[in-house]
Amino acid sequence: MNFYFEAVAVLDKLDAKKGSIKGVLASVPEKNRKRTAALVIETLKYKQVLNEVIDAAQLLKQEKKLSSRNLALVLVHDLLLARGIQAGDGPIKQAVLRHRTRLNGEFQRLKIKRGAKTQEELAQTDDSRAASIPRYIRVNLTCWSLDEALKVFEAQGFEQGDPLSSKKAFKIDDHIPDLLAFHPSVKFTEDPLYLSGKIILQDKASCFPAHVLCPPSNDRAQVIDATAAPGNKTSHLSAIMQNKGKLFAFERDRKRFTTLKNMLARAHCSNVEAVNLDFLTVSPEDSKFAGVTHILLDPSCSGSGIVNRMDHLLDNEEEGDGNYERLNKLAAFQLKMIRHAMKFPSVKRIAYSTCSIHAIENEHVVGQALKTEEAVVGHFKLAHREEVLPNWHRRGIAEEMNGEVDNASRLVRCSPGEDGTNGFFVSLFIRAGAEGESEGQSKLKRKSDDEATRHRPAKKKKKQSTATT
């Protein structure tokens, strides 16, 4: 039964809103993760149906050995929708099997009631917005070049074009030079390129923070990723730094820390020192971090912008005071992280990001941060739009920044499903006098841009129309 108890523990954490599905599953031991993930996801897809069947059969009322609803959910799922309960005989398994006939009868009645011809028709469908988001992969420049990657994909039969129009089409991203977009249905999790760390599966918007932070690529560079697990942004920072200098990656949770170390090893990040500590407990006066100039902050958030993961299966958006109270707690924590980062004596740039669409976690946090003692004494302000993805169209909401149009324009927003990304928010605090892009990042971007330009398909010249208007 241990397998089922592990799945129940994941569902309990999700009910308590202790993370996204992907994040919570990442804490499951790797040897059990694939099997546990499959059960959790399938149970969530049929959760509403399974709850109705369990209640109609009065299973929990009649069987006290079923200690929780989530335990009943995973067992009934396997009884009705899989190959049966995969556990040796015991009191808990028998407690469910005693009601097999009643449970199956209620399930068949529910199918008829809903007009479902197959059990798949009872499952919760995917978030429709996910269909407009390509499958993004970041070419890991610590291993090879964009030029080499393009040749490999073209040799596999992929052609440059609109990735949403064909499963064999892909394109170089317009904003992140080492990012490629493929059709949403293309899978890379078993691809040797992914397994060897040559490509990183990472949503486009998730690449923005490291790109905007723009750390230097020299042996003197010192950078912090304050909340590093699972490691995508950390590995991106390492690539931008060309594996030079020192990158401190903090993760307080022990299991997520193990995930982080495994990811960094696969991505060949040799300049990273992973630290199993809460960033907030680290003293800015510690001489070890005296030279840190760049800090990336991507703290816990509501995750309300994520649509192309599995989190549409969760009831994340509570109504009323409960959700408002939760968002306020998250915002207070996010502000605390920014204030702490501003205390580091040599820090020049702080990228703050969330995968939230809520202003309370985004514009409001940034606005409050600018008024703190740390910001005033440290002379921190928002970087000009020219330094924060200047060609990105969707910016901060001025109304949520007390009508400060200029400051709002310095922020970046992504709308889920509308911008070809998940929902996201990015800001960049800079210390007065620290404006401008780092030399190392400039060189890296120019090199990547040159490689990308060589492989972009030439635009066809439009025929001049002879019609008058």
Question: Catalytic residue numbers?
Answer: 355
How many beta carbons lie within 10 A of that of residue 111, not counting itself? 16
Q: What angle do CA 249, 193, 157 make, to 5 degrees?
A: 140
Question: Exposed/middle/buried for 34, CB within 10 Å: 0-12, 13-18, 19+?
Answer: exposed
Distance between CA atoms of residues 199 and 396, nearest Å: 31
Number of DSSP helices (H) and strands (E) in the chain, helices first: 18, 13
In contact, 323 and 336? CB cutoff 8 Å: no
In contact, 21 and 14? CB cutoff 8 Å: yes
Alpha helices in 250-320 (DSSP H): 254-266
Q: Which residues of 65-104 are buried (b: 16+ CB within 10 A; e: fewer)?
A: ebeebbbbbbbbbbbbbeeebeeeeeebbebbeebeeebe
Distance between CA atoms of residues 78 and 212, nearest Å: 46
- Strand 272-275 and strand 179-182: the pairing is unpaired
